[in-house]
Amino acid sequence: MLVVDHITKSSFNDTDSFLFENVSLSVQATEWISIIGPSGTGKTTLLNCIAGINQIDGGTIELDGFPVHNLTESQKSDIRRLQIGFIFQDFKLLPYYSVLENVVLPLSKDKKSDQIRKKAVHLLNQVGINKSYYNRLPSGLSGGEKQRVAIARALINDPKLIICDEPTGNLDNDNKKQVLQILTELKQKGHAIIVVTHDDEVAYEGDRLYELKNNSLSEVVKVL
């Protein structure tokens, strides 16, 4: 599904040194991998490389057989729009669009609007956001509700891969647990999931745990 093979990324401000080197990783459908590591070691950059947002300086990245590292900007953008769902710490909902519009928007150019609307309603229902919320703006939601709307938005394109950058970083314990439950269910339904987190409890939900540290990625044995 996703195969990252010996990728290297130069530091942003010094092309003679590496942010990370020889990073390899593979994620299959129905698998959740977690990535931890000190601040500034390049975890978000690694996610951005996988999504084709940042260029790599060596190695290869294949998503479902497509060589992400070799695609044009427009092809990368299609891959992101059609194959990857993103979930961020700060939700990134569009403030002047309603809950329903936020979920529909990523696909609004591609399919008939009533079809997408139906799907958006189904997804919102799946994450526990009921009808009375559909016309609210994001400012009228709690943090946990915002993240559940953001998850519904991430799923509107049936992504094979879901990339989560600190998905519970802004949530209290109850909302964190709800998000973890939703991610677990998504994994069981066949999505491949990568979660970057500073929260060990979240990290340990993954099937495999990696640490990005000292410019390289290594698997960590989970101590239960």
Ligand X SMILES: Nc1ncnc2c1ncn2[C@@H]1O[C@H](COP(=O)(O)OP(=O)(O)OP(=O)(O)O)[C@@H](O)[C@H]1O
Residue 95 is a binding residue for ligand X (CB under 6 A): no
Cα–Cα dist 156/175, whole Å: 21
Q: Which residue stretches of the chain are H helix?
A: 43-50, 73-83, 99-104, 113-126, 143-155, 173-188, 200-203
Residue 34 is a binding residue for ligand X (CB under 6 A): no
3-state secondary structure of 222: coil
Instruction: Rule CB under 6 A: choose which of 2, 7, 23, 41 binds ligand X.
Output: 41
Shortest distance in whole angstroms from residue 139 CB to ligand X: 25
Residue 44 is a binding residue for ligand X (CB under 6 A): yes
# residues contacting ligand X (CB under 6 A): 10
Q: Which is nearer to ligand X, 38 or 67 (CB)?
A: 38
Cα–Cα dist 61/58, whole Å: 10
Q: Which is nearer to ligand X, 44 or 215 (CB)?
A: 44
Residue 39 is a binding residue for ligand X (CB under 6 A): yes
Residue 42 is a binding residue for ligand X (CB under 6 A): yes
Residues 10-29, interacting with ligand X (CB under 6 A): 12, 19
Burial class (CB in 10 A: 0-12, 13-18, 19+), 115: exposed
Instruction: Rule CB under 6 A: choose which of 16, 40, 132, 139 binds ligand X.
Output: 40
3-state secondary structure of 132: helix
Adjacent-strand bridge partners of 60: 5
Shortest distance in whole angstroms from residue 41 CB to ligand X: 4
Alpha-carbon distances of 151 from 9, 103, 137, rounded to whole Å: 29, 9, 16
Residue 167 is a binding residue for ligand X (CB under 6 A): no
Shortest distance in whole angstroms from residue 134 CB to ligand X: 32
Distance between the two ends of the chain, CA-based, in angstroms? 28
Binding site for ligand X (CB under 6 A): 12, 19, 37, 39-45
